[in-house]
Amino acid sequence: MHIQVLGQVRATVEGAPLDLGARKPRSIVAALAMTPGRPVAADTLADLVWGGSPPRAAHGALHAYLSGLRKALEPDRAAWGAGAVIETTDHGYVLRVDAHHVDAHAFADETRACDRLLAPLGSQLTGGTTAGWPNRGDVLATVDRLDAALAAWHGEPYADLPDHPTVTAERAALAQVRATAEEARLLGLLALGEPAGVLAVTEPATARQDLRERLWALHALALARSGRQADALDAVRRVRTLLADELGLDPGAEVRAVETAVLRQDETLHLVLPRARPAGAVAPDRPADEGPPVEQAPGADPTGADPTGDARGTAPVAVGAVGGATVVSVGRQVELVEVGRLLAQAAAGRLSVAQLVGEPGIGKSWLASAAIAAARGRGMTVAVGRCAGDDGAPPLWPWRSVLAGLAAAGPTVSGAATDTATDTEDRAAAFGAGHEAAGAGAAQRAFLVAESVRTALSRGTDRPTLVVLEDLHWADDASLRALAHVVGSLDEDLPLAILLTRRAHPEPTGALATVSEAVARRHGVRLDLDGLDPTASAELVRAIAGDDLPTALATSWHERAAGNPYFLVELARLGRQGDEDGVPASVRDVVARRMADLPERVIETLRTAAVVGRTFRLPTVAAAADLDADLAADDLEAALLAGLVRETGAEEYAFAHALTRETVYGSLSATRAARRHAQVARVLEQPGAVVLDDPDRLVAERARHWLAAGASHADRAWRAAREAADQARRLTSYREAMELRRAAVTALARATDADDHARFDLLLELATDAAHAALWPEVEAAAFEAISLGRSLGDPERVGVAAAAMTTYCVWTPHEVDQVFEDAVEDLRWALAHVADADHVTRSRLQLALAMELYYAPHSRAERHALVEAGMASAHASGRPDVVAWAASTAWLASWTPAQLAERERWTAIGLEALAGTSDRASEAVFWVRRALEALERGDRDTFEPALEQAETRSRALRLHYVTLTALWIRLSLAALRGQTDLVAGHLAELTEIAPLVAIPMQEAQAPAAATTAALFDPEQLAGVLPMLHDAQRQTGGMAVLVHLATARAGTPEDVRSWLADYPIPWEDDEYWSTLSDWSMEAEAAAVAGDVAVARHALEVLEPYAGGMTVAGAVLPLGPVDGFVALARHTVGDRAGAARAADAAERMAQTWGLSAYLTVLRGYRERWGF
C-alpha cells in the first residue's frame, strides 16, 4: 500500500486507488501518515483532525471514522478482526505502512540521497575544480531522480488537515526539502551544460524567493554560461542590494565567487562534464535507465533493407483486376488501371515505360508485384532487378538479375539472353582488367551491360516482356547509366513494358536524374503514390483489426500514418494486440536505421524538432537547440535526405509521418524531453521572436510546452495554461478550455508559488468551462474542491460562489441518483452559520445550494422547501438580476417533483424575466428547455413547440451540448410516440453523435435507453433490443423501470413478473423527478404481470396528476398519465374507471398526434376489454 500526502490524501494498492471517503477520514490517514509505524494518541489525533478544537464527542467520531477506514483499507478483514493497516494499541493508533511507501517521507529520503551525490558539483559556484565530481551518466541519472521526486507533489502537503502547529511545522520542513531538491537539480543541469534549463527555473524563482542566495548564485552562473555576462553581474548587484536593504548583510561566499569569476573571465566559469558518445550508440550521454539509444535493432537486415520498401505484407481487403489478373488492392484503383494500361500497350507491340514514385511503405513494391502477377497471368516474360541498399553490392547488380530472368524465360528469349549475358561478362571482364586503372572502367562496363540488355530485349520473341527495376534510389551509378541507355535506345515498336520504382525524396540528381529525363523523353508515365484516403485506410485496418474497430480509432491511425499502408498495417497489428496508441517496433526499427548514419548533432537537432511538434519552423528549432540558423538548416537538410522530414515551405518542415515524430521523440527519456520542452517554451516567450504566424496558436503552443516541461516549471505552466484556456473559451472550444484549465489547476498545485486564492479562481473557471462543455463530473469535482477551499480560507462568500457553480447551466440534477455529499453539506451549513445577515447574495447562494445538495437526502422535503423559499427571498433582496436568475434556476432543480410543477413554472418565469436585461444567452437556453418540459408535463402543446425551438436556437448558436442533448431526447421520444420512424432514425443518429461529447448523470444508461426508446412502439425491434437492455441493467443498474416497461411490451407475463420480483423499485413517501415516470412504467408492467399490489400503489401515485403527460426526467415523454392510470385501474378491477381514463388519454394523444402510442393503448383496451 502507498499513501500520498503531498496534496489531498490518496491511498493505492498496486496502483489501484482506494476510496477513503470524505474529508474527515482522509484527515485521519494524513495525521497518522506523518509518523508511520509510530502510535498517535487519541487526544493528539483528534487535535490534529479538528485543528486544535475537537468537539466533545471527538473520540466517538474518531472510532466511527476509523471503522469506515478499516473497511476501505482492508475490505477482506473479518468484521471483528484487528486492523492490519490501522492498528489500535495501548498508546494510540498506528499506521502500519513503511515510511518509504508514504510519498512525503520517500521524497525527503530521495532528496537527501541525491543531494549527497551532487554535492561535489557545488564547486561550480566557488571557482573550484572538477575533482570529486560524479561522472556524466551518474549526474544525468540523479537529475532524473530529482525530476521524478519533484513530480510527486500534487498540492500542499497534508492538504486534508486543518491548520495546526504540528502540521504547519511539517509543511515548512517539506518546503525546505523541496527547495533543496530544486537547487541540487539546478547544480546538476549546470554541470551537464544546460544553462537554458536552469534559467527557465531561476528567472521566476529569484523574484519569488529573493533572499535565497544559492538560487541567485545559480542564476548568475547560468547567465554567464549563456553568454550574458552583463546580466550575470546585474543579478549579483540586485541580490547585494536586496540583502543590504532587507537584512543589512553582504552576499555569501558563493555569490561573491561567481561575481569574481565573471569579472576575471575565469575559465572555471565554464567547467562542465564532457560529452562522450558511447561506442555503437546513436544517442549521446544516455544513462542506463534513460531508455534505449536509437541504433540498429537486433536481427535487422544487415543490408539495411527497409521493410517499408515492400508493403506486400498487407492483408487482403478488396479484389481488383489488372490486365485480367486478380490482385489484392486497397485504395489503389487508379494506379492499378495505369499499370494495366502499361501491360496492354506492351501486349499491343508498343514500348511503354512507367515510374512508381513515393515514400517508403506507400505501396510501390506492392504495385510492382501486382504488375508482375498480372503480366504472368497474360503469359508475358517477366524479368526483375532489385537495387540493394548494401554498400557491398557489386556494380550493375540489378542488371544481372534482369539478364538472368530473361535467360530463364522461354526458348526464344533464353538463347539470346544467355548468349548475350555470357558474351557481355567476358567482354566486360576483359575490358575492366585492361582499362579500369585508366578511370574508364565503370562507364564502359555500364555501356556493355546496357547493350547486352538492349540486344536481348530487341531480338525476336514470341511474347511481350515486362522488366521491373525496383528501388532505383539505391542503384549504383553504373546501373543507372545502363538504364538510361536502355530506355533511350530501344525501338518504339517493341512489345516491352518497363516499370521502375524509386522514393520521392530526395529529388533525383546525377545519374538518377538522367534516368528520369530518359523516361520523360519516352513520354513515360510517372505515378506519384500518396497515402490512402480515410475510407481506404479504414478498410485496410479493419481487415486486420476487425470490422468492429471504432471509427475514431481508424481515423486516428490514418492521421498518424498519413495513409501510409505499411504503417497502417503495423498499427492495426499492434492494436489487435491491445496497444492502440503505441509505435510498432517495426516502425521504430525503420526510423532507427535511418537515424543510425546521421551525425550526432543532426540527431539532437531532430530530437529538438520532435519536441516542437509534427510541424515546425527552422527559427524555432534553431533557437531551442541553441544553434546558428545555418547549422540547424544543414541538420534538417540531412534529415530530409534521410526521409525523416519534408520541407513544406520557406523555413517550414514536417516529419514524414506522425509515427516518425513519435519514434524520434520517444528516443528521449521523459526528463530530457521535459527539459527540451522548457527550452522551446522559452523561445516561444521571446518578444518579437518569429516562431509562429498564428498568435492564437502561439498561446496554445506555449501552454503545451510549459505543461510538458516538468514540475520545476509549474509556476509558468499554470499561467500559460490559463491563458490558453481563456483563448479556447473565447473560441467556444469549451472542452479544450476545460482540459487546459484542469492542467492549470494541476500545475498550480505543484508550483512553489501556489496560492489558494489563485487556485480558487482557477477551480471556478474550470467549473464554468466544464459546464459549457456539459461534462458534469468535472463541474462537480471542481466545485466541491472550491467549496472545501473556501471553507479552509474561512470565507463563506467563496463557499457560496463555488456552490453556485454546481448548478450554473445545469439542465438535469447535478449529481447521480441518490448521491448526497457529506462534506459539501457540512461546508454549506458552516458557511450559512457564518455569513453576514446583510450579504443577501451569498446567503441566497448558500441556501439554494444546500437545498440542491439535500435533494436526494431522505426526509428532507420540508427543509428543502424552506431553503428554496428563503433563498429566493434573499436573491430578490440582493437586487441583482443575475443572482435572481441563478437562484430561480437552482430553485427549479431543487423543486423538481411532480407536485411542484406550478412552482417550477413560477421559477422559470422569474428566471426569464431576470435575464431579459442581461447577455446570458446560455442561461436563457436552459430556461427555455425547462419551459418546454413544463408544457410537456402540463400537456400544453401550444406552449411546448415554440419554447423548445427557442432552446434549440440558442443551444446551436452557443454550442451548448447539454441543452442540445435534452432537446434531441425529447424529439426522439415524441417521434417514437407518433410512429415517425424516419424521424426516430434521424434523431437517434444525432443523439448517438452528440452523446459522447457530454458527461452527465446516468451517462452509462443513455445508449441502451436511447435504443429502447427508439424501439418502444415497434414490438419486433424492441424484442431485438431487450437482451441488451437486460444486460445493461444487470451490469450497471439504474434502468429497472425501463426494463419492466420494455419487457411488458416485448416479453411474456412470466418474464415481467420475474423482473418485477428481481428488481423492485422502492415505495417512497418522498417525490423526485422520476416519481411519475417510474410509477407510470410500473403501472403498465403490473397490468401485464397481473400484479395488483404494484398497480394499486401506482394508482395512488399517478391519480393526482391525471390530465398531464408522463415525462421521465428531462428527456423521455411516455404518454398521457391517464393512459397509465387506465392500466392500473384495470389491474385492480375497476373497468369503468379504466375506460374513463383511457378515453381521456386518447383525447390527449390525438391532440399531440401520438399515433404509435394510441396503437399500444388500443391494443391493451381490446386485449382486456375496457
Which structural domain range is residue 233 located in? 194-270
Helix (H, G, I), strand (E, B) or coil at 211: coil
Q: Does some domain include residue 555?
A: yes
How high is the pLDDT of residue 868? 97
Which residue in 957, 950, 890, 923 sits closest to 809, CA to CA?
923
Q: What percent of the chain shows pLDDT beyond 90?
A: 55
Pick the more confident residue, 1008 or 3: 3
One domain for residues 380 and 323: yes
Asked whether residue 514 carries a pLDDT value surpassing 70, the answer given is yes
Q: How far apart are CA 768 and CA 635, in angstroms?
A: 46
Q: What pLDDT, on the 0 to 100 scale, is given for residue 441?
A: 60
- pLDDT tens column, 956-967: 998 898 999 999
Give pLDDT, residue 401.
86
What pLDDT is recorded for position 384?
Answer: 93
Length of the chain: 1170
pLDDT interval class at 1047 (50, 70, 90): very high
* Higher per-residue pLDDT: 192 or 1037: 192
Number of other residues whose CB lies within 10 A of the CB of residue 416: 21
All three cell numbers of 559, joined, read: 492521421
- The whole-number pLDDT of residue 461 equals 58
Inform me whether the pLDDT recorded for 499 exceeds 80: yes
Buried b (16+ CB within 10 A) or exposed e, 624-659: bbebeeeebbbbbebbbebbbbeeeeebebbbbbbb
- If you average pLDDT over residues 1139-1162, what whole number do you get? 97
Query: Alpha-carbon distance 102 to 712, whole Å?
Result: 21
- What angle do helix axes 1040-1050 and 1006-1015 make, rounded to 10 degrees? 30
**pLDDT confidence of residue 322:** 38
pLDDT band at 1042 (very low <50, low <70, confident <90, very high): very high
CATH number at residue 926: 1.25.40.10
Look at 6-10, 516-520, 684-688, 943-947 and tell me which has the smallest mean pLDDT. 684-688
Band of pLDDT at residue 391, cut at 50, 70 and 90: low
The reply to whether 280 falls in a domain is no
35-49 pLDDT tens trace: 999 999 999 999 999
Of 68, 102, 136, the residue that ends a domain is 102
Which set of grid coordinates corresponds to residue 672?
530530457
Res. 3 pLDDT band, cuts 50 70 90: very high
What pLDDT score does 82 carry? 59
Q: Does residue 857 sit in the same domain as residue 887?
A: yes
Average pLDDT score over residue span 100-116: 95
Number of domains in the chain: 6
Residue with the larger pLDDT of the pair 974 and 286 = 974
Mean pLDDT, range 775-782, rounded to an integer: 93
* Predicted confidence (pLDDT) per residue in 1093-1117, tens digit: 999 999 999 999 999 999 998 888 9
Q: Are residues 1018 and 1110 in the same domain?
A: yes
Give the pLDDT confidence score for residue 286 in this predicted structure: 38
User: What's the one-letter identity of residue 278?
Assistant: P
Model pLDDT, residue 282? 41
- 3-state class (DSSP) for residue 79: coil
Mean pLDDT calculated for residue range 795-799:
96
Cβ within 8 Å of residue 464, ≥6 positions away? 343, 346, 347, 349, 375, 378, 380, 381, 495, 496, 497
Q: Are 611 and 668 in contact (CB under 8 A)?
A: yes
- Residue 747 included in any domain: no
* Pair (864, 949) in one structural domain: no
394-406 average pLDDT score: 85
Q: 64 CB contacts (<8 Å, ≥6 apart)?
A: none
**Per-residue confidence band for 16, with pLDDT thresholds at 50, 70 and 90:** confident
- Three-state secondary structure call for residue 9: coil
Question: Higher model confidence: residue 441 or residue 542?
Answer: 542
228 assigned to some structural domain: yes
Q: Of 67, 102, 137, which one is at a domain's C-terminal end?
A: 102
Q: What is the CATH number of the domain that holds 93?
A: 1.10.10.10
**Residue 777: exposure state from Cβ atoms within 10 A (0-12, 13-18, ≥19):** middle
* Residue pair 526/508 in contact by the 8 Å Cβ criterion: no
- Please report whether residue 1081 resides in a domain: yes
Residue 13: enclosing H or E segment and its boundaries?
Answer: strand 10-13
Strand partners, 10: 4
Task: Give me the pLDDT at residue 677, please.
Answer: 94
Query: Do 373 and 503 reside in the same domain of the chain?
Result: yes
Which of 937, 914, 935, 934 lies closest to 924 in space, CA to CA? 914
* Single pTM value for the model: 0.76
Tell me the average pLDDT across 407-417: 55
The secondary structure element, H or E, covering residue 77 is none
Give the phi and the psi of residue 644 in degrees, each rounded to 5: -90, -30
Residues 216-237: what's their mean pLDDT? 91
What pLDDT is stored for residue 321 in this prediction?
37
What value does the mean pLDDT take over residues 261-271? 86
Rounded Cα gap, residues 159 and 167, in angstroms: 10
Q: How many CB atoms lie within 10 A of CB 609?
A: 31
- Predicted pLDDT at 442: 63
Highest mean pLDDT out of 283-287, 709-713, 1147-1151: 1147-1151
- Given this model, what pLDDT does residue 547 score? 81
Mean pLDDT calculated for residue range 644-673: 89
3-state SS class at 1101 = helix
Distance, CA of 790 to CA of 148 (rounded, Å): 31
Same domain, 972 and 875: no
User: 74, 22 in Cβ contact below 8 A?
Assistant: no
Question: How does pLDDT run across 577-608, given as a tens digit for each residue?
Answer: 777 777 888 778 878 888 888 999 999 999 99
pLDDT for residue 303 is more than 60: no
Residue 708 inside a domain? The answer is: no
Q: Are 933 and 897 within 8 A, CB to CB?
A: no
Output the pLDDT for position 294: 29
3-state secondary structure labels for all residues of 756-816: HHHHHHHHHHHHHHHHHCCEHHHHHHHHHHHHHHHHHCCCHHHHHHHHHHCCCCCCCCCCC
Query: 348 in helix, strand or coil?
Result: coil
Q: Is residue 161 part of a domain?
A: no
- Name the band, by pLDDT with cuts 50, 70 and 90, for residue 325: very low
Burial (0-12, 13-18, 19+ Cβ within 10 Å), 989: exposed
Give per-residue pLDDT as tens, 191-220.
Answer: 998 888 898 889 888 888 888 899 999 999
Mean per-residue pLDDT, 1123-1137: 97
Give the span between the Cα atoms of 95 and 28, in whole angstroms.
10
Same domain, 504 and 569: no
Residue 87 C-alpha cell reads as: 492498528
Name the amino acid, one letter, at 613. G
Instruction: Read off the C-alpha cell for 436.
Output: 579500369
Say whether both 979 and 1111 belong to one domain: yes
The pLDDT score that the predictor gives to residue 400 is 85
* Residues 508, 540 within the same domain: no
pLDDT at residue 90 greater than cutoff 60: yes
Say what angle helices 961-978 and 1135-1152 make with each other, to 10 degrees. 120
φ, ψ dihedrals at 375, nearest 5°: -65, -45
Residue with cell 379504466: 1138
Regarding whether 322 and 226 lie in a shared domain, the answer is no
Let me know whether 962 and 880 are in one domain.
no
For residue 60, with 0-12 CB atoms within 10 Å meaning exposed, 13-18 middle and 19 or more buried, which class applies?
Answer: exposed
Candidates 59, 40, 57; CA nearest to 164 is 40
Distance CA 472, CA 480 (A): 8
| pLDDT reading at 386 higher than 50 | yes
For residues 1012 and 1128, membership in a common domain is answered with: yes
Q: Which value, to the nearest 10 degrees, does the dihedral of the CA atoms of residues 558, 561, 567, 571 take?
A: -60
CA triplet 504, 508, 513: central angle to 5 degrees?
135
DSSP of 828-888: HHHHHHHS-TT-HHHHHHHHHHHHHHTTTSTT-HHHHHHHHHHHHHHHHHHT-HHHHHHHH
Which residue among 876, 893, 910 closes a domain? 893
Our measurement of the distance from residue 300's CA atom to the centroid of its chain's CA atoms, rounded to an integer in Å, reads 33
Residue 532 has pLDDT above 60, yes or no: yes
Average pLDDT, the chain: 86
CA–CA dist 217, 262 (Å, integer): 12
Contact 593, 607 (CB under 8 A): no
Return the beta strands (E) in 567-676 as ranges.
Answer: 615-617, 645-649, 652-655
Q: Transcribe 18-33 into DSSP letters.
A: ----SHHHHHHHHHHH
CATH label of the domain that carries residue 340: 3.40.50.300
Integer Cα distance of 333 and 353 in angstroms: 19
pLDDT, position 566: 81
How far the first Cα of the chain sits from its last, in Å, is 66
* Mean pLDDT, residues 406-427 taken together: 52
C-alpha cell at 233: 553581474
Phi then psi dihedrals of residue 147, to 5 deg:
-60, -45
Judge whether 136 and 168 are in contact, CB under 8 Å.
no
In a domain, 617, yes or no: no
Helix (H) or strand (E) segment spanning residue 467: strand 465-470
Mean pLDDT of 178-192: 93
